[in-house]
Chains A and B, each alone.
Chain A
Amino acid sequence: MAAGTVSTVRTEKPRSALALPVIILAFLAAMFVWMGFTQFLNALTLGAVYALVALGYTMVYGIIELINFAHGDVFMVATFVTMFVSGTILNQKEGIYGIPQLILSLVIVFAVTISIMAIIGAVIERFAYRPLRRAPKLAPLITAIGVSFILQNIIQYLVGPYTYNVPQLFPVDWAVMVGETRVPFLNIFVITVAVSLMALLQLFISRTRTGKAMRTTSMDRDASSLMGVNIDRTIMITFLIGSGLAGAAGVIHGLYYGNTNFQVGFQSGLKAFTAAVLGGIGNTAGAALGGFIIAFVEVGAVVLGFSRWGGAVVFSLLVIFLVFRPTGLLGSHTGDRA
């Protein structure tokens, strides 16, 4: 049964597989021409952060139909873990200009933060959501809001209520001038890391046995269970991966913005959630796409001189989509949701 469903999905794919990249490339080209290179790069960088966080929302929704409101705060905790790892453990305060040391430090920060966040995500799932697996849907939703508050208060207690500086390990002044335009390497690095992680995720979901288990679990949990899929393990892996991606987003946030505070997860979480809905909640490719679209809308609003309405523009988009296309751009019922 499971194999059959997957093959149906495969046959549907070629149609959109060709059309979608063309539309995306056309969109990017139009944006590039309209807003200019600097703003284009700003939007891509911002979109990378939103997309990584949005993936966690959409994966969890896809598999247990829970809007995990704590996910933005998992991202927030990741920014503090990044601060701790690069500032306290690696004892760095600013950019590292030696390339071997920089690479080593970045690998350590990403590896440690992603691992810690993956574990935290799995622990939250085990103790806050798994006991409610058979409860009415409202119960885990409220629990998620509770977990969100708990995470914020833990950080306030452990670190404090202020805005703190996160060491920007990747030198922010590394850039080349292309004509009049300044191209910072940091933005290129951030976008490359984020897009690679998203590509890896797609490969994982579509090519591995665990990925297949995730897809079947999201389609029909009981049937998958009958076919021998370990449901608890599959759901836990989903949380591991989603929270790990939020961990990567946290590292990127620290490198790019150089600061964080305990409330940073709320707004980013809300934007990422909007991105997930925009792309079609439950659809991983859609979430990534949605993240970039939200970023382009925000930056576009500034370019047009609507910065005063920036937030309103983004959330109006959410309302419009919920009313006219609740399944999102790519639809939430495609087979490749996780």
Chain B
Amino acid sequence: MSGIYVHVPFCKSKCTYCDFASYPRETGKAELYFACLYKEMKARANQYRKKKFDTVYIGGGTPSFVDEKFIVGAIRQIKDKFDLSAEPEITIEINPGTLTEEKLSAYKAAGVNRFSLGLQSADDRMLERLNRIHTLEDYLSAAEMLKGENFNADALVGLFDQTEKDLEKTLSVIADSGASHVSMYALKPEEGTPIFSSYLNGDLPDEDAVADLYEFGVKYLKSRGFDRYEVSNFAKKGCESRHNLNYWRRGEYLGFGVAASSHADNRRFTNTEIIDEYIKCILSGHFAEISSEEITGDEIRSEYLMLALRTEAGVDHEEFRRLFGKPFEATFKEVLKSQGKYMDISGGRARIKPEYLFVQNSIIISFM
């Protein structure tokens, strides 16, 4: 099964840590942009006629910021042009400050059945500092509207002066609000974002403090019934995101819009992140790829492992042997001698022990 990703690069304003493709000043181009998206979908649908899809993810930017007609239109195009399974998972990212009853019922009518709320922090002063456009109250009323729905909330770890108490408040708000899924991310200050200078100034917690906070968060979420199934993702039983699991199983997906990445037929390709360039390409009848890479041989295996080892489920021995022709343990006999102690190899699976998930890069690179 495969996924479809749609990127909506519009926002009311830019958060201080954001280095994703989002353009607060370009909202006037929404009409044109979505027309291009539809055109790109049509072209890809012709290219990958035989593929079946099981999930749709509408991310951003802030998809809930643009008029709901665009979202409804995009989903209609997808259903029309692609072979979508009977019960697809369709997710949309929502900024709590932008959700209305009208929008929500339009999304639901279009088939959206999973929602992702960007809370980040339950502290209004922190939200302001991050230049978020919403308040805690906005979140609570959005969650109220979503009562009974399958929804996720995002929480950030590693914010200014963040304490365990602060994090506990954010996570308890999320749990109390009825979310079925939590994405808890450690903030990564990226060069070129406003928060990067705070990082350089030493205003953000250091590696150890972030690790302590994160450990605390994992325990807290566990106590509230959220199991960690990937480094940063936690869910109530049965509520894991199918769309994201597909990434970690090295599944195929098609990405539409600026900066969107795709993986199909062992080729990975990514669109330009410049909105005008994207529009120009699509309008002139071209794809807007700026990079494309064929994945072959050992690299397939490296990708497979780097992704699978992010998850709690880890590597399935049976699947590994089927894909790569040789048993996992025999392939990595030498590596396991040094890395084995950080792993749990049992029940036909190899996984990184939970306490080492946060230092997994050093382990994973030995397998690459």
Q: Are A and B bound to each other?
A: no
The interface of chain B, by Cβ under 8 A from chain A, is none
